[in-house]
Amino acid sequence: MSTTTQTQFKRDILQDETTAEVTALLQDNLTNLIDLALLMKQAHWNVVGPNFRSIHLQLDEIIDSVRAGSDEVAERIVTLGIPADGRVSTVAADSNVAGYPDGFVKVSETISRVADALKQVIESLRSAIEKLGDLDAISEDMLIAISGELEKHLWMLQAQEV
């Protein structure tokens, strides 16, 4: 998380200690969401094989949801008076999302790897949701909405593996 301190807003939304705890949880998920979007774009560009077009297009739909979620999380962090950190160095150092191979990847492996990465991020979101319940209902609700959308995407990916 950024070493920059809280802004000097005159009207704090949360108490300082709560703000620090909430924004740390949000920052962890911001990092994972940014990394997931990058991973999925890598998969989108390099997927090959039967049904290429449908998975190529589906990945773009998921990426749009992930990017929108990361923007919401970043803006919530800033709303709470802490700078959001989406720098590549932060994402590379702090993301919990497993890496993605270089080169071309067949459709079936792409689906599996992307579904695994999506599941990792959903687990991180759900963990934060549990902790946010007593700290900040607004942040909790935001992560619930993001998780719900990503879980639907996970279902649609997994349905192709059967």
CB atoms within 10 A of CB 146: 23
The pLDDT of residue 3: 46
Backbone angles phi, psi at 139, to 5 degrees: -65, -40
Whether 11 maps to a domain, the answer reads no
Whether 137 maps to a domain, the answer reads yes
Domain count across the chain: 1
Tell me which residue range forms the domain holding 65. 16-158
Whether 153 maps to a domain, the answer reads yes
The pLDDT of residue 162: 81
Look up the CATH number of the domain holding residue 129: 1.20.1260.10
For residues 66-88, b (16+ Cβ closer than 10 Å) or e, as one string?
bbebbebbbebbeebbbbbbbee
pLDDT tens, N- to C-terminus, the chain (162 residues): 444 566 666 677 888 899 999 999 999 999 999 999 999 999 999 999 999 999 999 999 999 999 999 999 999 999 999 999 999 999 999 999 999 999 999 999 999 999 999 999 999 999 999 999 999 999 999 999 999 999 999 999 999 988
Q: Are 120 and 96 in contact (CB under 8 A)?
A: yes
Q: For residues 99 and 39, give the distance between their C-alpha atoms in angstroms, rounded to a whole number.
A: 8
The two tokens of residue 29 are: 């998920």
The pLDDT of residue 52: 95
Task: Using alpha carbons, select from 160, 146, 157 the residue that is nearest to residue 117.
Answer: 157
Q: For residues 118 and 36, give the distance between their C-alpha atoms in angstroms, rounded to a whole number.
A: 7
